[in-house]
Amino acid sequence: MGVMEVIKKGFGVASKCLGLVLILFAFNLVFNLASIPLAVQPGAEVTPQVTASALVLSLVFILVSILLQGASLGLVRDFVKNGKLALAQFFSYGAKYYLRLLGLGVLIVLIIAVIALVAALLIAATIPLKNTVVTVIMSIISVVVGALGLYWIFLLILTPYAIVVDEAGIIEAMKKSIGTVRRNIGKVLLVLILLILISLGIGFIVGFLTGLVSAALPIRAGQVLIGIVNSIVNGYLGVVMMAAFMALYMGIVAQDKTTAEKVL
């Protein structure tokens, strides 16, 4: 399956899975509206209560979003494979993949934290030396470490799909993702870049138009309007990106299987 076919598949699945888009829209809308009272106005004091409420809301958002991710991945997999959307399986899929996706998220956060810590320590170690050459060299090394870290994170981009498609454990799915992305790095990178550009383009246009309308409304009404529009866009594009990468991964797996059978 070519890159443009994958992108087209993503939009096609999203357009036919409006029930799933609606669920993601509702989820995003609830949290967008809940965050409005916590938004700090210019010049206003940030109180400990507001900070604590924002942290709790963020934590709940992350934990619930993992449930929705697992459910959505399961439903999208079924639709790409069979052309049917079984919304009745939503919560069962969410529960089935929850712990694995949660564990994957924790591992990725730890990897990012370690990379950031190493880069920060390399830079901090040069400060007392006051040597320009050493500082430049260490800064370059820290940039290289950061770049290598981003590369390894990129290699893990298909891990959630390996978990759901192959019913794999976390480590096994990470290995599958690394191998798959390495063998198809150009295609995976191009799909990612195109999806990001499309999302940014749609987001800019919709955001610009929404901003014009919200500017004529009272502040709260404008915030609500922006929250609704953002929820629609995020819900739809979320399914588009998920379906595109699902189609990409399943296509690569099928192609690898066919190639292996021919060799045998």
DSSP of 140-188, one letter per residue? HHHHHHHHHHHHHHHHTTTHHHHHHHS---HHHHHHHHHHHHHHTHHHH
Q: Is residue 42 pLDDT above 60, yes or no? A: no
Q: How far apart are CA 26 and CA 1, in angstroms?
A: 32
Least confident of 41-55, 66-80, 104-118, 204-218: 41-55
Q: How far apart are CA 159 and CA 171, in angstroms?
A: 9
Residues 76-82 have a mean pLDDT of 92
Tokens of 75: 């439903």
Residues 252-261 have a mean pLDDT of 79
Domain-embedded: residue 237 = yes
Domain-embedded: residue 119 = yes
Least confident of 41-45, 103-107, 119-123, 228-232: 41-45
Q: Is residue 117 pLDDT above 80, yes or no? A: yes
Residue 71 CA: distances (Å) to CA of 22, 42, 109, 234: 14, 39, 22, 17
Domain-embedded: residue 259 = no
Residues 182-201 have a mean pLDDT of 94
Residues 184-196 have a mean pLDDT of 94
Q: Is residue 43 pLDDT above 70, yes or no? A: no
Residues 216-227 have a mean pLDDT of 85
**pLDDT > 70 in the chain, percent:** 90
Domain-embedded: residue 110 = yes
Residues in the chain: 264
> In terms of residue numbers, what domain contains 32?
3-37+48-254
Domain-embedded: residue 136 = yes
Mean pLDDT of the chain: 87
Least confident of 71-75, 116-120, 134-138, 252-256: 134-138
Phi-psi region of 43 (alpha: psi -120 to 50; beta: other; left: phi over 0): left
Torsion from C-alpha of 168, 172, 174, 177, nearest 10 degrees: -70
Domain-embedded: residue 264 = no
Q: How far apart are CA 24 and CA 17, in angstroms?
A: 11
Kindly calculate the radius of gyration of the chain based on its CA atoms and give it in whole angstroms. 21
Domain-embedded: residue 126 = yes
Residue 259 CA: distances (Å) to CA of 1, 68, 255: 14, 34, 6
Other Cβ atoms within 10 Å of 238 Cβ, number: 22
* pLDDT score of 129: 58
Q: Is residue 48 pLDDT above 80, yes or no? A: no
Q: Is residue 177 pLDDT above 90, yes or no? A: yes
Q: Do 242 and 72 contact (CB within 8 A), yes or no? A: yes
For 129-166, how does the pLDDT look when each residue is reduced to its tens digit (9 = 90+)? 566 676 777 778 878 888 888 898 999 999 999 999 99
Q: Nearest Cα to 226, choosing from 242, 241, 207, 239?
A: 207
Give residue 6's pLDDT band: very low, low, confident or very high (50, 70, 90). very high
Domain-embedded: residue 238 = yes
Q: Is residue 119 pLDDT above 70, yes or no? A: yes
Counting the structural domains of the chain, the total is: 1
Q: Do 65 and 27 contact (CB within 8 A), yes or no? A: yes
Other Cβ atoms within 10 Å of 36 Cβ, number: 13
Q: How far apart are CA 77 and CA 165, in angstroms?
A: 7
* pLDDT score of 156: 94
Q: Do 83 and 31 contact (CB within 8 A), yes or no? A: no
> Could you tell me which residues come within 8 angstroms of residue 200 by beta carbon, excluding any fewer than 6 positions away?
none
Q: How far apart are CA 198 and CA 8, in angstroms?
A: 12
